[in-house]
């Protein structure tokens, strides 16, 4: 592409994030720069779903690269965690005991090292300006604030930002975050300060003040994993996902059912059966390879075995943001960052302005579980970015959707990779998810938007309870997709269930 302006297709769940990505491309950035610009701004404008106090898992595939690279920046429990204080009961859903070391900033730095053309500091400075100047509260953020009204009002840090007028902020209000802006500016000058500098010192002290076992040494110990992505040839394409503790292997497990050429002609959708099986396999197999043996093949093959099934307590709503970007050079990125459940642990550390995630809630206190709580280990992770390639196209896709992310992506995979429908049409189609406590039910159900008769038929065959909704729902995911065709055309699509925007922008 020498001498030709680089173009980037990018999709993210908020217009301000896409605007930042466009600016980065116009300054000479590529798909990595676009994704990082969007990611940093999202921690300001979508703090109920992602924050500096969350985790990040991403995939990058460079032009001509045989495979793809995974960045797994998921934080661990404090080394000094008092396990005995927690193992007498199920893991708490929220609170300081669910806060693991945040991995987002380390993940950004690792991604930048994998091919960014612009300094990461420029993206952080842009995000700081947004936090200082203020942003209009979007419909999605307003829903998150209202859904967690009690938690927002209970925590002094959250209350001071999201209920500064005395009552919680609503759609259209202006949200300013001066403490977060100051932190972002410090990180723009030195991103490593989050883990080994003044920001780390303030954050560690703040976590201790909130009752945590976290120390500056725990923050300094964090290192993102940069490893080859898991890879399988499925249908007409090659697929890449992140390894454990990500649940990416389960997407590889259910994709064969989604790609089945006879699927459309069947009365009952075989993908529903695969996903129900996947729920049990995940709960029996998924954990942190640093603390337990993880059988990746069992997840890819959806192989059931003797073990314990321990789905996490509590409902995960609005947990994640996905950013997908592909450029005209053939560089593809999918970045997912998250605070887990809406507003994470229900805590904002006041000196830094950082919302803290509750990823630790995904640990199990059952010793036989692969997700058993151990100091220094990472919890089972829902984040599930994906990249796929066929001779006709390259796609990057990811979604919000908690434990259902693999099931959501599988429902859009075939048409996105084949190009049989425009990407926006694929994401607008009705979807379904299967789950239990993560969807707010005490047993596994199929939660279905209107217009999925084949899924309903499959649920009937399985004896699976069905909950039908009146229209599109957040639980069916917020998918973001970016596509490059073999002839170089770029397309992007954002899920209509979110507040997002998609763009194809040319650099100069």
Q: Are 357 and 99 in contact (CB under 8 A)?
A: yes
Could you tell me which residues come within 8 angstroms of residue 300 by beta carbon, excluding any fewer than 6 positions away? Answer: 230, 232, 249, 252, 253
Tell the residue number behind the tokens 């503790």, with chain if given.
245
Angle between helices 120-133 and 104-113 (to 10 degrees): 140
Residue 87 a catalytic site member: no
Question: What are 9's two structure tokens?
Answer: 């297709």
466-468 vs 445-448, strand pairing mode: parallel
Tell the residue number behind the tokens 């700081």, with chain if given.
128
Whole-number Å distance between alpha carbons of 433 and 451: 13
174-175 vs 386-389, strand pairing mode: unpaired
Question: What are 285's two structure tokens?
Answer: 């197999």
Whole-number Å distance between alpha carbons of 69 and 59: 6
Question: What are 315's two structure tokens?
Answer: 């409902």
172: number of Cβ within 10 Å: 10
CA-CA-CA-CA torsion sign (40, 42, 46, 48): negative
Beta strands in 281-402 (DSSP E): 320-327, 332-338, 347-349, 354-356, 386-389, 393-400
Rg (CA), the chain: 21
Angle, CA of 351, 353 and 354, to the nearest 5°: 115
Type and span of the H or E element at 9: strand 7-12
DSSP state of 78: P
State in Å, rounded, how far the first CA of the chain is from the last one. 13
Q: Are 480 and 398 in contact (CB under 8 A)?
A: yes
Question: What are 349's two structure tokens?
Answer: 């550390």
Could you tell me which residues come within 8 angstroms of residue 202 by beta carbon, excluding any fewer than 6 positions away? Answer: 351, 352
Whole-number Å distance between alpha carbons of 495 and 364: 32
326 DSSP β-pair partners: 9, 332
Catalytic choice (320, 377, 382, 494): 320
Tell the residue number behind the tokens 């080859």, with chain if given.
228
What's the residue count for the chain?
508
Type and span of the H or E element at 129: helix 120-133
Catalytic residues: 320
């Amino acid at each position: 592409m020498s001498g030709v302006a680089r173009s980037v297709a990018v999709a993210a769940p908020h217009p301000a994030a896409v605007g930042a990505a466009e600016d980065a491309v116009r300054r000479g950035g590529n798909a990595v720069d676009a994704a990082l610009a969007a990611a940093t701004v999202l921690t300001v404008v979508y703090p109920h779903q992602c924050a500096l106090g969350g985790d990040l898992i991403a995939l990058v595939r460079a032009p001509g690269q045989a495979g793809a690279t995974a960045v797994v920046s998921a934080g661990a429990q404090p080394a000094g965690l008092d396990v005995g204080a927690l193992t007498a009961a199920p893991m708490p859903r929220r609170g300081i005991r669910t806060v693991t070391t945040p991995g987002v900033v380390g993940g950004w730095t690792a991604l930048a090292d994998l091919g960014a053309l612009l300094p990461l500091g420029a993206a952080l400075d842009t995000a700081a300006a947004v936090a200082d100047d203020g942003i209009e509260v979007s419909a999605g953020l307003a829903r998150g604030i209202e859904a967690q009204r009690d938690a927002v009002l209970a925590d002094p840090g959250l209350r001071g930002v999201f209920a500064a007028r005395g009552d919680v902020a609503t759609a259209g209000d202006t949200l300013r975050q001066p403490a977060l802006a100051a932190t972002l500016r410090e990180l723009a000058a030195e991103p490593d300060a989050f883990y080994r500098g003044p920001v780390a010192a303030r954050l560690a002290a703040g976590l201790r003040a909130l009752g945590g076992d976290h120390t500056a040494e725990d923050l300094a110990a964090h290192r993102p994993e940069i490893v080859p992505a898991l890879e399988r040839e499925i249908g007409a394409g090659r697929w890449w996902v992140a390894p454990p503790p990500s649940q990416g292997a389960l997407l590889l497990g259910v994709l064969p059912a989604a790609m089945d050429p006879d699927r459309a002609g069947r009365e009952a959708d075989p993908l529903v059966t695969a996903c129900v099986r996947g729920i049990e396999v995940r709960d029996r197999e998924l954990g942190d390879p640093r603390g337990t043996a993880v059988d990746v093949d069992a997840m890819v093959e959806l192989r059931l075995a003797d073990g314990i099934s321990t789905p996490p307590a509590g409902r995960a709503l609005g947990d994640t943001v996905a950013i997908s970007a592909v450029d005209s050079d053939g560089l593809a990125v999918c970045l997912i960052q998250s605070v887990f459940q809406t507003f994470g642990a229900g805590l904002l550390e006041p000196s830094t302005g950082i919302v803290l995630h509750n990823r630790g809630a995904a640990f199990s206190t059952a010793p036989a579980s692969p997700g058993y709580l151990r100091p220094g280990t990472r919890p089972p992770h829902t984040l599930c970015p994906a990249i796929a390639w066929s001779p006709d196209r390259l796609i990057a896709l990811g979604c919000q959707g908690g434990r259902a992310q693999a099931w959501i992506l599988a429902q859009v995979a075939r048409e996105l990779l084949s190009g049989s429908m425009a990407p926006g049409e694929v994401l607008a189609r009705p979807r379904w998810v299967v789950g239990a406590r993560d969807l707010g039910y005490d047993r596994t159900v199929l939660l279905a938007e209107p217009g999925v008769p084949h899924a309903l038929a499959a649920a009937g065959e399985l004896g699976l309870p069905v909950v039908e909704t009146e229209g599109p729902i957040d639980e069916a995911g917020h998918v973001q997709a970016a596509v490059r065709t073999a002839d170089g055309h770029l397309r992007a699509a954002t899920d209509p269930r979110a507040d997002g925007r998609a763009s194809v922008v040319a650099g100069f």
